């Protein structure tokens, strides 16, 4: 068994160490040998006022948001409890009265 991990981007096992990084020979992706934990700890998600958000916080919407592909509009002032921070363009995964949504933190305010 190889101690070199598979590529996190393409999942191929054709990887090799190069200095302080691992490199995938198939897709060319490079990542740190230290792992993803350093990147996750440095990730900071802030609300519209600049307050740092954490998992489990409660937030409210600061403006009306139309949900793409439906006739649903999320109303300003709607409260979401126990948010979860995720990677990607929409940083916050939450549950509102109308369902579960992934929202951008810039439209939220910590309560």
Q: Where are the domains of the chain?
A: 1-42, 44-110
Percent pLDDT > 70 in the chain is 91
Distance CA 102, CA 24 (A): 31
Domain covering 1-42 assigned CATH 1.10.10.10 in the classification: no
The mean pLDDT value for 95-108 works out to: 94
- Higher per-residue confidence, 29 vs 59: 59
Cα-to-chain-centroid distance, residue 63 = 21
**CATH architecture for the domain at 44-110:** Roll (2.30)
Q: How many CB atoms lie within 10 A of CB 10?
A: 14
Which pLDDT belongs to residue 38?
Answer: 45
Per-residue pLDDT at 101 exceeds 70: yes
Supply the mean pLDDT for the chain.
Answer: 87
Judged on CB neighbours under 10 Å (0-12, 13-18, 19+), 80 is buried
Which pLDDT belongs to residue 72?
Answer: 93
């Amino acid at each position: 068994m190889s101690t070199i991990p598979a590529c996190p981007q393409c999942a191929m096992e054709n990887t090799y160490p190069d200095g302080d990084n691992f490199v995938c020979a198939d897709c060319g992706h490079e990542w740190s040998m230290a792992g993803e934990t350093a990147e996750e700890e440095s990730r900071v998600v802030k609300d519209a006022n600049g307050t740092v958000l954490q998992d489990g916080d409660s937030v409210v919407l600061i403006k009306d948001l139309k949900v793409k592909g439906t006739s649903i509009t999320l109303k300003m002032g709607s409260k979401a409890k126990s948010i979860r921070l995720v990677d990607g363009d929409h940083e916050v995964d939450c549950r509102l009265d109308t369902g579960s949504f992934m929202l951008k933190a810039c439209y939220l305010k910590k309560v």
